[in-house]
Chain A
């Protein structure tokens, strides 16, 4: 079975969390999810799947935006 760690901020609803997990399983098959709560990501989520990282957190997006505005 796949193993995936999901990092979310504490303000994420259970419903959204389940939706994300559902979408992931649809694509990759049955998966064992571990939920990690980290408020420093501000919002959104980060999926860790083997060595791969899929970052859709608000903090990371703001960082990219900051970089883009500086150039």
Chain B
């Protein structure tokens, strides 16, 4: 005890008494979360401003006769005449391992009721890694979702957009991908922007139940948060990810969702009296997202070799992917996973439209074992869909077409997957091999998921060594291939 008091006494004695000098302005106009501050000299763009009563805001418009700023909190305590001072720093975010498992708001305040004692802070807005600091994407990021890992593979450092109407399972895909990073060394940041608080609570609940919070940070600005908070949220999430990536780690960031982010930015811009453009979005709405997504990268080995994979989510209206914000983000990202309501309601879940979905990194980011078994899937599905249109008329079809139709239906059934039940690399390779070998040709639709479960359990005991090797290295030798074919034959014989 005396040690502590001695230590404190020492610190207090060493304290240097120094005057605090700063510039102070007064609020001249306030409304809708936007304030105008008269005569506040020497402010920086994006600087944090402290109002009386501890409310914070951000300077977003600097003019000769004052500063335009947005408030982070409810503004009833700020009134005309309130004193404002610049803090000298731009918006900052606590970073570090102590954030793992935590839920924070975009200015780093904990939202999970536990104190957060951070001592490292990084600015929310940082420039993207230079060209020289990047290397090509070559390592897969397994989502555990068969339809995605086989046909739209995502690599570490890639930006893959998840796009679709409301209620098509966009968040589910992202959350499943986060869950699947457990024990892989990939850290995750889930950023919720303008979502209902109940939805965010649901996501946190799901992640906790799957024991996935230990490698995840949640940054949340719910629909009730001010537009400024929602605007800042993805940049802060990216800063947290950048800190981990700078330590050489692989990070997955989910921005859920960027259409609400654009809306929050539009609100803010209109209130700041910036000129509205198309759909009333301000002129720099493209830059808003491009500068965010450019920060995701696969870093060169000199920079530690870490990576930031981004899964931005965009909500479309009535399937219109050619609206303003969706086309912007499609053009920025390295591909998109397009989810469709019709598929979702036809019980094809995940409701991925494989025709419109694409990964521009492509097969470079796929395990060799997966590449070997998934090469023709997209073509087969496309052929099936084309044929299925004719078959709908009930016309007589020849045997070859009939086989094609059955195989197509089997493939669609195989790609159906319940949420929160990710496959391992081996599971995915083995199932696709089984499909390739026509194992499911007689399986009725209703029995499909049971058949898959039985098959995977059978493989568990039949070839544990191959399973371990494929899961560990992602490669498959000729020998493994024949072992797996043999396992499939034994399974078929046992049924």
Whether B20 and A68, one on each chain, are in contact in the complex, defined by CB atoms closer than 8 angstroms, is no
Q: When the two chains form the complex, which single residue of A56, A60, A65 contacts B15, counting CB atoms closer than 8 Å?
A: A65
5 contacts between A and B (CB under 8 A): A50-B39, A51-B25, A52-B22, A61-B17, A65-B12
Q: When the two chains form the complex, which single residue of A50, A51, A56, A69 contacts B19, counting CB atoms closer than 8 Å?
A: A56
CB within 8 Å of B: which A17-71 residues:
48, 50-56, 60-61, 64-65, 68-69, 71
Whether, in the assembled complex, B24 has its beta carbon less than 8 Å from a beta carbon of chain A, the answer is yes
Of residues B11, B20, B23, which shows the largest number of chain A Cβ atoms within 10 Å of its Cβ? B20
Whether B11 and A69, one on each chain, are in contact in the complex, defined by CB atoms closer than 8 angstroms, is yes
Whether B21 and A54, one on each chain, are in contact in the complex, defined by CB atoms closer than 8 angstroms, is yes
Q: When the two chains form the complex, which single residue of B12, B22, B119 contacts A53, counting CB atoms closer than 8 Å?
A: B22
Q: When the two chains form the complex, which single residue of B11, B12, B21 contacts A55, counting CB atoms closer than 8 Å?
A: B21
Whether A51 and B40, one on each chain, are in contact in the complex, defined by CB atoms closer than 8 angstroms, is yes
Whether A64 and B20, one on each chain, are in contact in the complex, defined by CB atoms closer than 8 angstroms, is yes
Shortest Cβ distance from A50 into B: residue: B39
CB within 8 Å of A: which B12-61 residues:
12, 15, 17, 19-25, 39-41
Whether A53 and B23, one on each chain, are in contact in the complex, defined by CB atoms closer than 8 angstroms, is yes
B15 surroundings in chain A (CB, below 8 A): 65, 68
Docked CA distance A48–B85 (Å) = 13
Whether A69 and B8, one on each chain, are in contact in the complex, defined by CB atoms closer than 8 angstroms, is yes
Whether A51 and B12, one on each chain, are in contact in the complex, defined by CB atoms closer than 8 angstroms, is no
A50 surroundings in chain B (CB, below 8 A): 39
Q: When the two chains form the complex, which single residue of B11, B17, B20, B23 contacts A51, counting CB atoms closer than 8 Å?
A: B23
Q: Mark B119-148, 1 if CB is under 8 A from A, else 0.
A: 100000000000000000000000000000
Docked CA distance A60–B17 (Å) = 11
Shortest Cβ distance from B41 into A: residue: A51
Docked CA distance A60–B24 (Å) = 15
In the complex, besides A53-B23, A61-B17, 17 extra interface pairs with C-beta distance below 8 angstroms are A50-B39, A51-B24, A51-B25, A51-B39, A52-B22, A53-B85, A54-B19, A54-B20, A55-B20, A55-B21, A56-B19, A60-B20, A61-B20, A69-B8, A69-B11, A69-B12, A71-B119
Shortest Cβ distance from B40 into A: residue: A51
Least CB distance from B83 to A in Å reads 9
Docked CA distance A61–B18 (Å) = 8
Least CB distance from B20 to A in Å reads 4
Shortest Cβ distance from B117 into A: residue: A70
B residues neighboring A (CB under 8 Å): 8, 11-12, 15, 17, 19-25, 39-41, 85, 119
Whether B23 and A52, one on each chain, are in contact in the complex, defined by CB atoms closer than 8 angstroms, is yes
Shortest Cβ distance from B14 into A: residue: A68
B41 surroundings in chain A (CB, below 8 A): 51
A71 surroundings in chain B (CB, below 8 A): 119
Least CB distance from B200 to A in Å reads 30
A48 in contact with B24 given A53-B85, A65-B12, A69-B8 (CB within 8 Å): yes
Least CB distance from B49 to A in Å reads 13
A53 in contact with B11 given A61-B17, A71-B119 (CB within 8 Å): no
B40 surroundings in chain A (CB, below 8 A): 51
Shortest Cβ distance from A70 into B: residue: B117
Whether A68 and B11, one on each chain, are in contact in the complex, defined by CB atoms closer than 8 angstroms, is yes
A54 surroundings in chain B (CB, below 8 A): 19-21
Shortest Cβ distance from A60 into B: residue: B20
Shortest Cβ distance from A63 into B: residue: B20
By Cβ-Cβ distance, the 9 closest A-B pairs, closest first, are A55-B20, A53-B24, A51-B23, A56-B19, A54-B21, A51-B39, A65-B15, A51-B41, A53-B22
B22 surroundings in chain A (CB, below 8 A): 52-53, 55
Docked CA distance A52–B22 (Å) = 6
Shortest Cβ distance from A69 into B: residue: B11
A60 surroundings in chain B (CB, below 8 A): 20
Docked CA distance A60–B20 (Å) = 8
Docked CA distance A62–B25 (Å) = 23
B17 surroundings in chain A (CB, below 8 A): 61
A55 in contact with B25 given A69-B8, A69-B11, A71-B119 (CB within 8 Å): no
